[in-house]
Amino acid sequence: MYRIACLLLCALSLPSHALTKVDVFKTEVVLTEQEKAESLAQAQGLEQVLVMASGQKSLQSNEVVRKALRSSGQYLSQISSGNIGGKPSLAMTFNPKQIQSLLTQAALPYWSPTRSNVLVWLVEEDRYQRQIAWEQSGSDAIAQLEQFAQLRGLPITVPVGDFDDVTGISAPDLWGGFVAPISQASVRYPADAVLVLRVQHLSNRTTVRWTLFDQKPEAMISEQTSPLSGQESGAIAPVLEQVIDQVSDYFAGKSAVQVANSSTQSVMTEFVDVDNATDFFHLEALLKGLNSVASVDVMKIQSSGITFRVHLLASQSDFERELSNFKQVQKFELSPDVLPLPRLPSQDAPVDQQTLQPIENVNPTETVSTDSDSEPMATIEPVHVSQEAREVEENRLVYEWLG
């Protein structure tokens, strides 16, 4: 009972994050008056779920997806009638395991439902008057933006426009892209990134200039990271859709991984500076939550760190790319020529013909012998190793835990 209580306390003490869980397996489609309207809605619903789950919008060219859309009903786990804007609709929930299996068969990536929450500031200019569009302001642009974000599975938050918002930031601040006031006004919201949209309505078209700060609001000033930016022009709805597509593609590109049917390989991954139980539980949960990871085994715990054997569902490069998205870890680059504390070579094989492995708790200045009948062996020193030995060692990843 005492151990359980300790585990609970450790879990409760973990730092909070703004990452949002998106229900990518649920959607609702308006029924048309066409023949077989329900079958058409099921196919449309499956396509929407595949777009949200994969992070890729263009799926029509995929032969596996086209076949699945012709028999979309087999992927459904729940279906019910609904209503959208006074029109009858079909609310559908699809089976997560079947959808993930379909993505694997179609060679499509899987974008984890736990995603970065994006805070969206939108300022509109119409006849040289500029106004901030708040969540409850009734802005058509905000309504369209939320609709397009929902279809892509991109979690967004629009500022509510209360007293703190109105007094904390102005339309000129947003239009000018001034980082300091934007950061200060955004800190009150649980966001992982900040998107600023400047919408200019002209007589025959709309221009949207957007800037994405891929960092928490409080880090926008202290961390000198260049934001992403772009510009689109045309009718308001297609332009906003293009902006949401570009932002969604960016985050899906960072996090989505190609998942195999089963664990394909494993990699030894060491983390140093893991000093307490809280860090351990946080780190283990982080690893298990990665799309590229099937499972993790604890191989060694020592005073300053921990070594896991990480069983992968994707390539090692996908695993490293996913892990690099977390600022709590920082990769160590091992020397390409010298390995720390290698095992001593046997007397009947040269160094460059064997695989060297690090050993633990050995003082490099001590003499080591194999057993009581053996002659003492040479003092351990760092040695230059062959390309083959380097490749084996390079498969071991080392990271520093920053907490």
Band (pLDDT 50/70/90 cuts) for residue 95 is very high
Chain mean pLDDT for the chain: 82
Residue 13 lies inside a defined structural domain of this protein: no
Q: Kindly tell me the sign of the dihedral angle through the C-alpha atoms of 73, 78, 79, 85.
A: negative
Asked if the model's pLDDT at residue 65 lies above 70, the reply is yes
Does residue 159 share a domain with residue 228?
A: yes
Query: For position 217, what pLDDT does the model report?
Result: 95
Query: For position 374, what pLDDT does the model report?
Result: 44
| Beta carbons of 95 and 25 less than 8 angstroms apart | yes
What is the average pLDDT across 127-138? 91
Does residue 175 share a domain with residue 103?
A: no
Query: For position 339, what pLDDT does the model report?
Result: 45
Does residue 236 share a domain with residue 220?
A: yes
Band (pLDDT 50/70/90 cuts) for residue 263 is low
What is the average pLDDT across 360-371? 43
Residue 328 lies inside a defined structural domain of this protein: yes
| Beta carbons of 53 and 111 less than 8 angstroms apart | yes
Does residue 201 share a domain with residue 296?
A: no
Does residue 313 share a domain with residue 368?
A: yes
Does residue 288 share a domain with residue 242?
A: no
Asked if the model's pLDDT at residue 283 lies above 50, the reply is yes
Residue 16 lies inside a defined structural domain of this protein: no
Query: For position 14, what pLDDT does the model report?
Result: 35
Asked if the model's pLDDT at residue 360 lies above 90, the reply is no
pLDDT tens sequence across 3-34: 433 333 333 333 344 678 999 999 999 998 88
Asked if the model's pLDDT at residue 274 lies above 70, the reply is yes
What is the average pLDDT across 74-86? 93
Query: For position 327, what pLDDT does the model report?
Result: 81
> Where among 208, 239, 255 does a domain terminate?
255
**Total domain count for the chain?**
3
Nearest to 19 by CA among 245, 295, 285: 285
Residue 75 lies inside a defined structural domain of this protein: yes
Query: For position 10, what pLDDT does the model report?
Result: 38
Asked if the model's pLDDT at residue 155 lies above 90, the reply is yes
Does residue 211 share a domain with residue 122?
A: yes
Residue 14 lies inside a defined structural domain of this protein: no
Nearest to 356 by CA among 369, 340, 372: 340
Residue 4 lies inside a defined structural domain of this protein: no
Least confident of 110-124, 288-302, 330-344: 330-344
Instruction: Kindly write down the DSSP assignment for every residue of 234-292, as one continuous string.
Output: ESHHHHHHHHHHHHHHHHHHHH-EEPPSS--EEEEEEEE---SHHHHHHHHHHHHTSTT
Query: For position 301, what pLDDT does the model report?
Result: 87
Residue 3 lies inside a defined structural domain of this protein: no
Burial pattern 173-185, b for ≥16 Cβ within 10 A else e, equals: bbbeeebeebbbb
Asked if the model's pLDDT at residue 191 lies above 90, the reply is yes
Query: For position 334, what pLDDT does the model report?
Result: 60
Does residue 394 share a domain with residue 267?
A: yes
Residue 17 lies inside a defined structural domain of this protein: no
The CATH number of whichever domain residue 143 belongs to comes to: 3.40.50
Query: For position 377, what pLDDT does the model report?
Result: 42
Range of the domain at 231: 114-255
Does residue 220 share a domain with residue 296?
A: no
Asked if the model's pLDDT at residue 365 lies above 80, the reply is no
In the chain, what is the straight-line distance between the N-terminal and C-terminal CA atoms, in Å?
A: 28
> Could you give phi then psi for residue 169, rounded to 5 degrees?
-155, 155
Does residue 266 share a domain with residue 217?
A: no
Does residue 402 share a domain with residue 265?
A: yes
Asked if the model's pLDDT at residue 171 lies above 70, the reply is yes
> Where among 255, 277, 312 does a domain terminate?
255
Q: Kindly tell me the sign of the dihedral angle through the C-alpha atoms of 174, 177, 178, 184.
A: positive
Query: For position 353, what pLDDT does the model report?
Result: 38
> Where among 229, 255, 281 does a domain terminate?
255
Query: For position 175, what pLDDT does the model report?
Result: 96
Asked if the model's pLDDT at residue 137 lies above 70, the reply is yes
Higher-confidence residue: 31 or 292?
Answer: 31
What is the average pLDDT across 211-223? 93
Q: Quote the percentage of the chain above a pLDDT of 70.
A: 79
Provide the residue type at 97 as one letter: K
